[in-house]
Structure 1
Amino acid sequence: MAEGPFRSRLPEQWEPSVDLAETKDKIIVTAELPGLDAKDVSVSLMGDLLTIKGEKKKETEEKDEHTHIIERYYGAFERSFRLPENVQADKIEANFEKGILKVTLPKTEESKKKEISINVK
C-alpha cells in the first residue's frame, strides 16, 4: 500500500482489458489500449497462440510538479490467448483506432462449425 495521506492499493502490472468474440466465420479480439499509438503495439500468431504486446510510456513531468498519486499505468504489457479454432494466418487483420485494437482472425473452412440435425425419437 502507498504510504502517507493518499493510500491506494494498485495492481503491480498494467494489463489492458480484452474482449474475445466468435462468429461462425471468425474470431474477433478487441483490446482497450488508451494512450497508445499503433506504433506502440505488436500482434503476432504462433501456432494457435495470439500475442498482443506493447508499451505505454509516461509523459514528461514539470520540474516544479509534486505528484502525490498516479492511477495511470505505464510500462510494457503482454497478453496471450490460445485460440479455440484454426485460423487463416495469412488473412488476419489488425486495426487500431482511438485506443482500440481490433484483431480479426478468419477461420479455416474445416474449422467452421457446421450444424448437424439429429432426429429425436
Structure 2
Amino acid sequence: MARGSPFDELERLLDKMNDARERAGGGLAVDVEDEDDQFVVTADLPGFEKDDIDVEVRDRTLRIEARHEEETEEGEDNYVRRERSKRSLSRSVTLPEEVDEAGASAAFQNGVLTVELPKVHTSEESTSVDIE
C-alpha cells in the first residue's frame, strides 16, 4: 500500500479550514473537478472583468485573486451608502496531484472563471527494457 507524504493530511485539514473561513466570510467558493487527465476549477466572479483577475499555479497550489476598484471622482458625495466601490477576493487551493503548470489554461465568460490544469502523468507500471 502506497503512502502519501506525511503532510498530505495537514494540507487537507488546512484546505478544510480555508474553505470554512471563505464560506463564513462570503469569500470565493470554487469547484474542483477531477477529469482523469486534468483538474478543472470553476469559480463564480460576478461583477469582475477579465483584467481584474490573476490566476497562478505553483507547486500543486492554484491561487485566484480578483480585485475591483471603481474610480471615484471629486464631487461624488451623493451616496448615502457605498459598498460596491472596492472589492477583493482571493483563494488558494491545494491540488491532490502534480499538474503541468505550463499547460494550464483559463477562460472567463459571463462572470465564471474556468481553469484547466493538466495532470503530470507518472507511470507506476514497470516498463520492459530491451537489451541489445
Same fold per TM (> 0.5)? Answer: yes
Q: Which has the higher helix share?
A: 2
After TM superposition, list the pairs within 5 Å mapping 1:11-26 onto structure 2: 14-26=26-38
**1:92 positional shift:** 0.4
What's the counterpart of residue 6 of structure 1?
none
Is residue 2:54 matched to residue 1:39?
Answer: no
What's the counterpart of residue 85 of structure 1?
97
Q: Note closer, same or farther for the CA distance 1:39–1:63 as it changes in structure 2 (3 Å cut).
A: same
**1:59 positional shift:** 6.9
Q: Provide the C-alpha distance between the structure 1 equivalents of 2:25 and 2:68, rounded to a whole number of angstroms.
A: 12
Give aligned pairs, total: 101
Tell me, yes or no, if the aligned pair for 2:58 and 2:101 is still in contact at 8 Å.
Answer: no
After TM superposition, list the pairs within 5 Å mapping 1:30-109 onto structure 2: 30-58=42-70, 60=72, 63-67=77-81, 70=83, 74-109=86-121
Q: Deviations over 1:35-82 (max 9, x none)?
A: 001100001112111100111335759533423x85x69422220011
Tell me, yes or no, if the aligned pair for 2:68 and 2:86 is still in contact at 8 Å.
Answer: yes
Tell me, yes or no, if the aligned pair for 1:14 and 1:73 is still in contact at 8 Å.
Answer: no
| Worse-matched range after superposition: 77-86 or 14-23 | 14-23
Letter in 1 for 2:77: K
Q: CA RMSD in A?
A: 3.0
Alignment partner of 1:90: what SS?
helix
Alignment partner of 1:81: what SS?
strand
Q: Note closer, same or farther for the CA distance 1:73–1:33 as it changes in structure 2 (3 Å cut).
A: farther
Q: Structure 2: which 5+ residue stretches go unaligned?
A: 1-22, 126-132
**1:13 positional shift:** 5.0
Q: Provide the C-alpha distance between the structure 1 equivalents of 2:85 and 2:28, rounded to a whole number of angstroms.
A: 10
Normalised TM-score (structure 2): 0.63
Alignment partner of 1:95: what SS?
strand
Aligned-residue sequence identity (percent) comes to 33
Q: Highest relative contact order (Cα 8 Å, sep 6+), 1 or 2?
A: 1
